[in-house]
Amino acid sequence: MPLPRHDTGRAPTRLEGRATWLVGRAYLRSSGLLGAGFENHGDGLRSYHYRLLAALEEWGPASQADLGRRTGIDRSDVTAALVELESRTLVERSADPEHNRRKIVTITPAGVERLLELDKVIDGIQEEFLAPLTAAQQRQFIRLLTRLADAER
């Protein structure tokens, strides 16, 4: 999958030291590893699918709108991803009996199974991604990163 090159040459020094630049490069590596992981072991599923399966497994059945709100995925993208998941019987969609427009989405046993497989793959990628750091550094990195990721703006 689209994995950036940056084959040759270093970036201009005014970029090299900047946090935003480094975060971009780290993200590039991260998403490269994830992309490769999904490609090799994901059977065509993408990160959206994983997120939705995880949400369903953790919070139980939900409407598509709820799913979108809680995962931060747009309604339209939720629809598309669920259609895909349903076609693989990893998920079931049924009409809400008390609200005919709404659909209740449920993860199937096969969906849970697939989710656990993906978990393993993704855990492996975490190790690979963090490999350049010692265990203590990894903990520290995640601590700092959490602060930054959750910041107000």
Partner DNA sequence: ATCCAGTGTTGGCCTTGCCAACATAGCCAA
Partner DNA sequence: TTGGCTATGTTGGCAAGGCCAACACTGGAT
Which partner in DNA, a second copy, none is near 126 (CB below 5 to 8 A by kind)?
a second copy
**Which DSSP string corresponds to 125-148?**
HHHHHHTTS-HHHHHHHHHHHHHH
Cα dihedral: 138, 1, 71, 121 (round 10): -50
Angstrom distance (rounded) from CA 23 to CA 44: 27
Q: Does 46 interact with DNA (rule: CB under 7 A)?
A: yes
Which partner in a second copy, DNA, none is near 82 (CB below 5 to 8 A by kind)?
DNA
- In the complex, minimum distance from the CB of residue 13 to a second copy, in angstroms, rounded to a whole number: 6
Q: Does 40 interact with DNA (rule: CB under 7 A)?
A: no
Q: Does 83 interact with DNA (rule: CB under 7 A)?
A: yes
Alpha helices in the chain (DSSP H): 13-16, 19-41, 47-59, 64-71, 75-87, 109-130, 135-149
Closest CB to a second copy among residues 33, 104? 33
Q: Does 41 interact with a second copy (rule: CB under 8 A)?
A: no
116, 142 contact by CB (below 8 A): no
Chain residues in the site for a second copy (CB under 8 A): 4-15, 17-20, 22-27, 29-31, 33-34, 51, 54-55, 57-59, 69-72, 119, 122, 125-126, 128-133, 137-138, 140-142, 144-151, 153
